[in-house]
Amino acid sequence: MTATRRFEGYGVLITGAARGIGAATARRLAGEGAAVLVTDVDLAEAEKTAAAIRELGDRAEAFTCDVGERTSVEAAVAHAVAAFGSLDVLVNNAYGCTPDAPLFEDESDETWARDLDLTLTGAYRCARAALPHLVASGRGAIVSVGSVNGLQDFGNHAYSAAKAGLVSLTRTLAGHAAPRGVRVNLVAPGTVRTTAWEGRDTDLELAAALYPLGRVGEPEDIAAAVAFLASRDAAWITGTTLCVDGGLLAVNTGFRQAVRQRGEA
């Protein structure tokens, strides 16, 4: 449990929260006093995350939510409001990411549509359902988890396009929601050590060498940034994209290493 209780009395809904960044964010916000609805398509894993939070004396419930289905999203939002009395923070973390085909022309419509639907349209569905309640809370905030893929080329056409779309949606929704008292921001992580990288320790080591800060991210790094943007500490911040990427986008480490090696040759 963290010492600061910035979210005492808050009701929070997090999508894709059974593991990884979503689970770390649930732990962080609950540890700061929030009642957290841990939602995921994998209810069994979501319940494990919620149970671990409760064991620490904090408040969390698990609920099934498929961001690809409007009725599922609306049910999750309604449950959060009924269970916690309000919905103050929405964290859009669920996504879809399918490996690219070897050639762009071999990509299927189904793959493209699925990744965009889960990553971008899913966030839209959640924001649409949550917004009236966030307005009513008087302190509402939406934080979406984007990616450096939405800002620069790191592969994954559909996933990257969806994450770029989230950056734009963050700006336009921030403009719409600001007069209603709701802030909308986005965190753009670099490489983060999650279950998506299980069994790929060598790849993570190679990736770490490209980060100016010398390591890949941990889920807790992203959770801390989400907590900041969701809190009143960020009360005058909306429509922004916060890169949490170990300096990846700011410094071309690979280029600098190549130049240094050539100079030493």
Q: Tens digit of pLDDT for each residue in 67-89?
A: 999 999 999 999 999 999 999 99
CB 100 within 8 A of CB 155: yes
Q: Choose the CATH number for 11-264 among 3.40.50.720, 3.30.70.520, 2.40.280.10, 3.30.70.20.
A: 3.40.50.720
Structure confidence by residue, pLDDT tens digits, 146-163: 999 999 999 999 999 999
Token pair, residue 263, equals 């100079």
CB 17 within 8 A of CB 41: no
Catalytic residues: 159
**Beta-carbon neighbour count of residue 260 at 10 Å?**
10
Alpha helix segments (H runs only) across 63-200: 70-84, 109-116, 122-137, 157-177
Average pLDDT on 41-53 reads: 98
Residue 31 CB contacts under 8 Å (≥ 6 apart), including other chains: 1, 2, 56, 58
Token pair, residue 137, equals 């809370």
pTM for the predicted model, two decimal places: 0.95
Q: Return the amino acid letter for 56.
A: L
Question: Does residue 231 surpass a pLDDT of 50?
Answer: yes
